[in-house]
Amino acid sequence: MQALAEVSTCPESPEETAERCAMQWLEAGEAEAFQRHTSECSHCAEVLAEYAAFARLLRSALDEACRVSS
Ligand SMILES: [Zn+2]
């Protein structure tokens, strides 16, 4: 299955790439490429938005836990 010419191809696993991107586990170049891809691909943009929201929640939960235990 080929993507449209103007849209770069989706990563093999958009979910995994989005998770790694949201958690800032990707190499700088990989993150940049994936972010460029999400500006063209609504599916990956949606997946990334979900993981980004989850990552924010996770971070605020961690912050909260640190404040409570200190
Ligand atoms: Zn995509």
Q: Is residue 7 part of a domain?
A: no
- How far apart are the CA of 42 and the centre of ligand 1, in A? 7
Residues in the chain: 70
Q: Which residue has the higher pLDDT, 1 or 29?
A: 29
| 9 occurs within a structural domain | no
**Percent of the residues in the chain that have a pLDDT greater than 90, as a whole number:** 84
Q: What is the mean pLDDT of residues 11-38?
A: 95
pLDDT value for 2: 52
Helical pair 42-69 and 14-22, crossing angle rounded to 10 deg = 40
Q: What is the domain range of residue 54?
A: 14-69
Ligand 1 geometric centre to CA of 54 (Å) = 19
Q: What is the pLDDT of residue 8?
A: 82
How much distance in Å is there from the Cα of 70 to the middle of ligand 1? 42
In a domain, 30, yes or no: yes
pLDDT at residue 70, rounded to an integer: 63
